[in-house]
Amino acid sequence: MPPSSELASFGIDREFEYTGHITLATHLVPLPRRTYASTDETHIRIWGPSGDVAKTNFPANRRSMVSAMAYCSTFSAVLTTEVDMTMKAYFIQTLDMLDSFPLNEKVSAMTYLPQHSWVLIGGENGCDLWQLSKSNRRRSGGSLGRLEHHLQLALVRRISAGSVLNIVADMAEHRVIMWGPKSLSIYDTELNLITSYMQPHTEPMRCACIQILSILDTALLTGGEDGNVNFWSIQGKQSEGVFALDDFMNDTILPAASMRLEHSFRGHSRTVEMVCFYHRKQTGQTQSLCVSYARDGKMKVWSLIQFSIVYTLDLYFLDSKVFIFPLANHAFAGRRREIDDVRI
């Protein structure tokens, strides 16, 4: 545990506030050059510290259309899955729609993996892997940015069966975390299954953060609707095998790595919305602190050495109605219902 003089230094700095939304913001993703894409009931917006960059309206009489959103760096596009069971691609500079693709399922989670231009899309029926690429069909109205051709979306394979609640891709750690109501799976960025765990929380999971410590050791944090912050150790070989979650559940094959609960931190009274490791340690060094935020309006710092509470911050400007959008370690956006702003 750090010395007592260091404990008083915990706090939160607000970088800026965006007040352009007129209805509740439901999704937010970071873009290059300190800009962000967000959606509310009627608009998709691109904005930054100086205000709006671009915005577009949903069609008349259509509200709450977006169910998931991701940034596609390869084609400079914002990807959305929408309630009409389509995936749409919007050009980030103008929010002109590039293309729309039918999905034929309700989607709850989506992430983009740039190394192969893959799109992971999860919903009630499982998770599928798609590839987004440039087609041979030219745009009749001229190019948008550098895109002279339409895009195409092709199904690659099914990754898992069963309902998916969320997918988190950490490209710095080369890991993809996927969870449903009663299970958690971790993949590398080639979508080889590393490990799976059934019932990681007594209530559904809401957030996760992962950090590779060595070839054989990985640390994982998860937060859930049960108010708990769980600290996990993943040990074993983590680089080979292509397995599906339904194979694992049917005992036809075992993942190469094992997952063990080291400690469950209990201190929040409501759903945990964000977890992160406090500092990036050097490879092989044990983590010492982690941070969590929950709908009880409290941010807590925990010791991963003594498994105890280190510090509690009461965030007066956030309450149980706040929407939290994790952006990166030590960075998040909070969206309040009473005043239509997003705080970074």
**CATH number of the domain within which 68 lies:** 2.130.10.10
Does residue 315 lie in a domain region? yes
Domain boundary among 114, 136, 159: 159
Dump pLDDT digits (tens) for 136-156.
999 887 788 788 999 999 999
User: Does the pLDDT value for residue 186 go beyond 70?
Assistant: yes
Residue 147 vs residues 54, 98, 111, 133, 270: alpha-carbon distances, Å: 18, 9, 22, 11, 46
Listed residue (67, 71, 83) closest to 46, CA to CA: 71
The predicted structure's pLDDT at residue 288: 87
Looking at the structure of the chain, the number of domains it has is 2
What percentage of residues in the chain have a pLDDT greater than 90? 55
141 & 175 share domain = no
Does residue 319 lie in a domain region? yes
322 & 188 share domain = yes
User: Does the pLDDT value for residue 41 go beyond 90?
Assistant: no
257 & 329 share domain = yes
User: Per DSSP, what are the bridge partners of residue 291?
Assistant: 276, 301
Dump pLDDT digits (tens) for 291-301.
999 988 888 99
Q: Which class for 14: exposed (0-12), middle (13-18), buried (19 or more C-beta within 10 A)? A: exposed
Do residues 45 and 39 make contact, with C-beta atoms less than 8 angstroms apart?
Answer: yes
Residue 302: in which H helix or E strand, if any?
Answer: strand 298-303
130 & 173 share domain = no
133 & 200 share domain = no
Q: Which two tokens stand for residue 34?
A: 């300190």
The predicted structure's pLDDT at residue 287: 72
275 & 226 share domain = yes
Domain boundary among 131, 159, 187: 159
Cβ atoms < 10 Å from Cβ of 245: 24
Domain boundary among 105, 128, 159: 159
Do residues 177 and 197 make contact, with C-beta atoms less than 8 angstroms apart?
Answer: no
Does residue 4 lie in a domain region? no
The number of C-alpha atoms within 13 Å of 225 and in the hemisphere containing its C-beta is 9
Dump pLDDT digits (tens) for 210-258.
999 888 889 999 999 999 999 999 998 665 444 444 444 444 455 678 9
d(CA 35, CA 288): 32
Domain that holds residue 226: 165-344
The overall average pLDDT reported for the chain is 84
Does residue 106 lie in a domain region? yes
Does residue 20 lie in a domain region? no
Q: Is the dihedral of CA 79, 101, 185, 166 positive or negative?
A: positive
147 & 169 share domain = no
208 & 133 share domain = no
Q: Which two tokens stand for residue 337?
A: 């219902």
* DSSP states of 154-192: EEEEEEEES---EEEEETTTTEEEEE-SSEEEEEETT--
Phi, psi of 184 (to 5 degrees): -135, 135
173 & 320 share domain = yes
d(CA 35, CA 28): 11
132 & 218 share domain = no
Does residue 12 lie in a domain region? no
Phi, psi of 248 (to 5 degrees): -60, -45
Does residue 6 lie in a domain region? no
What percentage of residues in the chain have a pLDDT greater than 70? 79
The end-to-end CA distance of the chain, in Å, is: 29
91 & 36 share domain = yes
130 & 217 share domain = no
Does residue 150 lie in a domain region? yes
Dump pLDDT digits (tens) for 71-127.
999 999 999 999 889 999 999 999 999 999 999 889 999 999 999 999 999 999 999
The predicted structure's pLDDT at residue 166: 96
Helix, coil or strand: residue 63: coil
Residue 44 vs residues 4, 12, 90, 116, 276: alpha-carbon distances, Å: 46, 28, 10, 26, 28
